[in-house]
Amino acid sequence: MKFGPVPLKDAVGGVLAHSLQLPSGRLRKGLIIAPEHLDQLAAAELDEIVVARLEPGDLAEDAAAERLARALLPEPEAAGLRIGRAATGRVNLHATGTGVLEVDAARIDAVNAIHPMITVATLRPYQAVAARSMAATIKIISYAVPGEALDAACAEAGGALRLRPVRARTATLIETTIGKPPSPKGHRAMRGRLQRMGVELGDPVVVPHETAPLAAAIGNATSDVVLVLTGSATSDLHDTAPEALRAAGGHVTHFGMPVDPGNLLFFGALGARPVIGLPGCARSPALNGADWVLERILCGVEVTPGDIMGMGVGGLLKEPPSRPRPREG
């Protein structure tokens, strides 16, 4: 692509690089200069304008953005994403339902490394999305890009994005109590989280903070996912709540996470039913590490200890004002 000032007589067919306010009206950038525009430009006493001209093998911005979008999503419906209309070199991708966005970061990085004018920006991997929300945007920065570069980008792009829709439909929250009933804010905060994902939270279940009654409550739950919020924070792999899950016949997959707030989370399963031991910060609606685990599990995404231990970069989250022990006290 050639870019720069040209005399008016040579401007026809070029792409106007910058918007111009003329006495006869505004000419917007991106306009293809036609012969009828020359009189307007001359009347404004302009003798040259800045244009972009495609060279052989170049592809215009909108066509390039649309083609890259099709390469990223060869089967949009199967990927749970919708391709928007191309305009000013941009195509947006939107979720067709609620879930988490699965991103092949290596593929996206490879696309963005091909040519500086070819860009793809996405939400972070496994970020929760609602129906119709934007998941990614493709932007061709210049008015055109070399076809060879676009070919290379499209070759790297296939299958880099898909929506993992919510699979769970019901959840049970079991709270343990030590001497006094639990505050309703825990159930309220968790209900809000689950509602955003389209998951129904059952009536509160409250048991003493002891292994046997908690194990019985876990075993009696019939929902798709079981959540445990203890009156006293889980501080060891063999504390009351993890031991209750084992006593119920389940197993603990992992305890602890390098996300703050959210360190004291554990998760496992009873048969095929996921069980998440929530940290105390889950009583606040503010983002915490439990959200990242809960959202994946609700969408049927396998969470491994390695996944958890890889969450430390970016895992320093904002503290809720209600935190009983701030980081800096």
Cβ atoms 50, 5 nearer than 8 A: yes
Based on its alpha-carbon atoms, the radius of gyration of the chain, rounded to whole angstroms, reads 27
Q: Which CATH superfamily is domain 170-309 in?
A: MoaB/Mog-like domain (3.40.980.10)
Closest CA to 118 of 134, 137, 133: 137
> Which 3 state secondary structure label does DSSP give 179?
coil
Query: E-assigned strands of 113-217?
Result: 118-122, 128-129, 134-140, 144-146, 161-165, 170-177, 200-201, 205-208
Domain 58-165 has CATH 3.90.1170.30: yes
Cα 91 from Cα 12, distance rounded (Å): 27
Residue ranges of the domains in the chain? 2-53, 58-165, 170-309
In angstroms, the Cα distances linking 3 to 17, 88, 144, 238 are 8, 17, 10, 67
Q: Length of the chain in residues, anyone?
A: 329
Instruction: Encode the chain (329 residues) as per-residue pLDDT tens digits.
Output: 889 999 998 999 999 989 999 988 899 988 999 999 998 998 888 989 999 999 999 999 999 999 999 999 999 999 999 999 999 999 999 999 999 999 999 999 999 999 999 999 999 999 999 999 999 999 999 999 999 999 999 999 998 999 999 999 999 999 999 988 999 999 999 999 999 999 999 999 999 999 999 999 999 999 999 999 999 999 999 999 999 999 999 999 999 999 999 999 999 999 999 999 999 999 999 999 999 999 999 999 999 999 999 999 999 999 877 766 777 76
How many CB atoms neighbour CB 130 within 10 A?
12
Q: Give the 3-state DSSP-derived string for 30-51, with helices as H, strands as E and coil as C.
A: CCECCHHHHHHHHHCCCCEEEE
Predicted structure pTM score: 0.90
CATH T-level fold of 2-53:
Molybdopterin biosynthesis moea protein, domain 2 (3.90.105)
Query: Looking at residue 315, what DSSP letter applies?
Result: -
Phi (first) and psi of residue 56, to 5 degrees: -55, 130
Phi (first) and psi of residue 103, to 5 degrees: -125, 125
Closest CA to 88 of 54, 139, 122, 53: 139
